[in-house]
Amino acid sequence: MKRSTTILVLSAILLTTSFAATAEQNRALAATATAQTATKAQIVSSVNLRDKPSTSGKIIELVKKGATVTILENSNSYFYKVKTSDGKTGYVSSSSKYISVGSGNAASEQTSASVIYGVNLRTAPSTSTGKIITMLKKGTVVTILEKSGDFYKIKTAGGQVGYVSSSSKYLQLKGNGSSSNEGSTSSNQTKIAKVISTGKKYLGTPYEYGSDRNTTKTFDCSDFVRQAYKEALGITLPSDSRKQGTWVKDNGTAKSSISSLKAGDLVFFMSYKGSSESAYKNVDKSKETITHVALYLGNGEMLHTYSQASGGVRIDKLDGAWKFRFLFGGSVLK
């Protein structure tokens, strides 16, 4: 009798376990099927999932080695926005030490990306040892084969294989994030608010021409706007104002009218020639050199730094001589 009872109990346990395992397998299969068309990656070393793309972000959980995640977007140069297999969304380091794109279980699910700023295709994942094969122009669509350090190994539509920088300055991964203009605009507004907030915290920081780009003790004009975008969003702009102007023109639309500027735009100026409008009357602005850059705040105001005597980082009205010196402006974001 006792033996029969024991057998019945064991059978019930095995049957329950079998149903549970089958249900779990079905959930896993469903999750896999749902993510078939998404960008997949494998965690190669346990990494923290955070609530924002920064090491200051709160830790949601530890994603363990071997886990597969879905990449939703390349948030900045250092973090991916991902979705875990159990549905949690957050940010993880994009370092190849922690995550491998297009490898392991996701090897057959190659990732597509679009070049958003001209980038060199190299023979090796290094700027020192990798010889330049060609420059990939803005708008070029490539297939990411794997991530190697700070580089992606990619394949072009023409069949060329090589390595390009994985910085979000150059490539935009095609994930399954919102593609609507409304969603994009809302996202950009949040980002711009963060850039402006970051810039304002440096109000009063002393001016120094040719300031050290590795510190925040002093700034010149281009170093200041570069720091605001780098610290807030992980976007590293060129280090001088002329190259920043070229960057904005290459990645968006230059605005020659002050009235068309939006908060967060970079605004570029030529040399001072006088305080009156007549001093600029016969100037061909298309031939003038950029000598100053500022961060536009909206409502006719700009955040910038231009001399020791002015008191360092400050807010000014975009009027008077500044209005006459204005060359163009443009957005850093898409």
CATH at residue 119 = 2.30.30.40
User: Is the CB of residue 153 less than 8 Å from the CB of residue 146?
Assistant: yes
Mean pLDDT of 306-320: 94
- Per-residue pLDDT at 32 exceeds 90: no
Residues 57 and 104 in one domain: yes
d(CA 276, CA 278): 5
pLDDT at 285: 92
Is there a domain that residue 4 lies in?
no
Residue 34 included in any domain: no
Is 241 found in the same domain as 111? no
Residue 173 scores a pLDDT above 80: no
Does residue 212 contact residue 290 with C-beta atoms inside 8 Å?
no
Quick check: 165 and 125 in contact, CB under 8 A?
A: no
Residue pair 135/119 in contact by the 8 Å Cβ criterion: yes
Same domain, 58 and 169: yes
Q: Among 173, 204, 221, which residue terminates a domain?
A: 173
Q: Are 50 and 209 in contact (CB under 8 A)?
A: no
Is 283:273 a contact under the CB 8 Å cutoff? Answer: yes
Helix (H) or strand (E) run with residue 155 in it: strand 151-156
Say yes or no to pLDDT of 2 above 90. Answer: no
Contact 100, 111 (CB under 8 A): no
Q: Is the pLDDT of residue 333 over 80?
A: yes
Same domain (yes/no): 142, 204: no
88 and 58 both lie in a single domain: yes
* Residue 316: pLDDT band with limits 50, 70, 90: very high
Residue 247 and residue 146 share a domain? no
Q: Decide if 310 is inside a domain.
A: yes
β-sheet bridge partners, residue 165: 151
The dihedral of CA 320, 326, 332, 334: what is its sign? positive
Q: Are 156 and 86 members of one domain?
A: yes
Instruction: Give the domain extent around 156.
Output: 39-173
pLDDT digits (tens, 9 = 90+) for 65-83: 878 888 887 767 678 888 8
d(CA 216, CA 235): 16
**Phi and psi of 168, rounded to 5°?**
-65, -10
Domain count within the chain: 2
Which amino acid is present at 147? K
Same-domain check for residues 216 and 122: no
Whether the CB-CB separation of 53 and 60 falls below 8 Å is answered with no
* Residue 2 within a domain: no
Measured distance between the N- and C-terminal CA atoms of the chain, rounded to whole angstroms: 75
**Do both 190 and 325 map to the same domain?**
yes
Shared domain for 198 and 315, answered yes or no, is yes
Digit-coded pLDDT (tens) for 110-119: 578 888 888 9
Domain-located, residue 31: no
pLDDT for res 14: 46
Q: What mean pLDDT is predicted for residues 123-135?
A: 90
Domain contains 106: yes
Residues 120 and 241 in one domain: no
The pLDDT of residue 87 is above 50 = yes
Matching residue, tokens 């705040």: 297
Model confidence band, residue 102 (pLDDT cutoffs 50, 70, 90): low
If you average pLDDT over every residue of the chain, what do you get? 81
The more confident residue out of 109 and 47 is: 47
Q: Which two tokens stand for residue 327?
A: 């060359």
Torsions phi, psi for 83 (to 5 deg) = -125, 125
Where a domain ends, among 173, 189, 217?
A: 173
User: Is 186 found in the same domain as 159?
Assistant: no
pLDDT at residue 77, rounded to an integer: 66
Q: Residue 17 falls within a domain, yes or no?
A: no
Q: What is the CATH classification number for the domain harbouring 272?
A: 3.90.1720.10
Tell me the CA distances in angstroms from 176 to 32, 43, 71, 250, one per residue in order: 15, 19, 8, 26
| Confidence at 38, pLDDT banded by 50, 70, 90 | low
What tens digit of pLDDT does each residue of 258-291 get? Answer: 988 999 999 999 999 999 999 999 999 989 999 9
98-112, 170-184, 207-221, 275-289: least confidently modelled range: 170-184
Domain boundary among 173, 190, 212: 173
User: Of 21-25, 131-135, 279-283, 307-311, where does mean pLDDT reach its minimum?
Assistant: 21-25
**What is the distance between the alpha carbons of residues 313 and 175, in angstroms, rounded to a whole number?**
38
Query: Do the domain assignments include residue 98?
Result: yes
